[in-house]
Amino acid sequence: MDEVLIITCGGTFSKVYNPIDGQMTVPKNNEILQRIIKTYFKFNINLIDIQEFIYKDSLDMDDNDRKSLKNIIGRSEYQKIIIIHGTDTIHLSAQEIEDIAKEKNLSIVFVGAMEPISINPIEGCMNLGCAYGFLQALQTSGVFISMNGIIKNVQEIVKNRELGYFKCLK
């Protein structure tokens, strides 16, 4: 089993309801991710490292955020990386890091959720679990997206905004 770095960017995956203002917000902590890892990855917990990056809705991410993410990946010693990211711009960040992944022969899977784990934990946990298992079995490098039970190269998957799920292009 290989060690896996999880980089957190926030997104719907991490959102929680704020009872004071009635808004969904991305908390500036990893409580949800820590709970998932302790519950579902307890046998492999020593193979997972978490690196905090930013806590934003992906619609609020900009090119500078994507460049910073790319720099983090470029400096990392890990060969297998999961990036938790919002679904609205997940493809933009995944495309931004394709060249560094190829250059360093990295295997990277972006993970998101259409519904916050705090409201419906099934989808986000499934996407993260699929990504982890995929990375452990993967024998090649590349940048992938894990959503709705599908893991495809970033060029082969797209968010269907009308229907609210990701689908394969090929």
Q: How confident is the model at residue 101 (pLDDT cuts 50, 70, 90)?
A: very high
- In this predicted structure, what is the pLDDT of residue 103? 96
Domain that holds residue 43: 4-168
Retrieve residue 78's tokens.
């890990």
Total-model pTM: 0.94
Neighbours of 153 (CB within 10 A): 14
What are 105-118's pLDDT values in tens digits?
A: 999 999 999 999 99
Domain count, the chain: 1
- In this predicted structure, what is the pLDDT of residue 169? 87
Biggest alpha carbon–alpha carbon distance for the chain: 47
- In this predicted structure, what is the pLDDT of residue 27? 86
Q: What is the CATH number of the domain that holds 36?
A: 3.40.50.1170
- In this predicted structure, what is the pLDDT of residue 165? 87
Most confident listed range (37-51, 67-81, 114-128)? 67-81
β-pairing verdict for 48-56 and 80-84 = unpaired
β-pairing verdict for 165-168 and 157-160 = antiparallel
On the question of pLDDT at 84 being above 90, the answer is yes
Q: Are 35 and 111 in contact (CB under 8 A)?
A: no
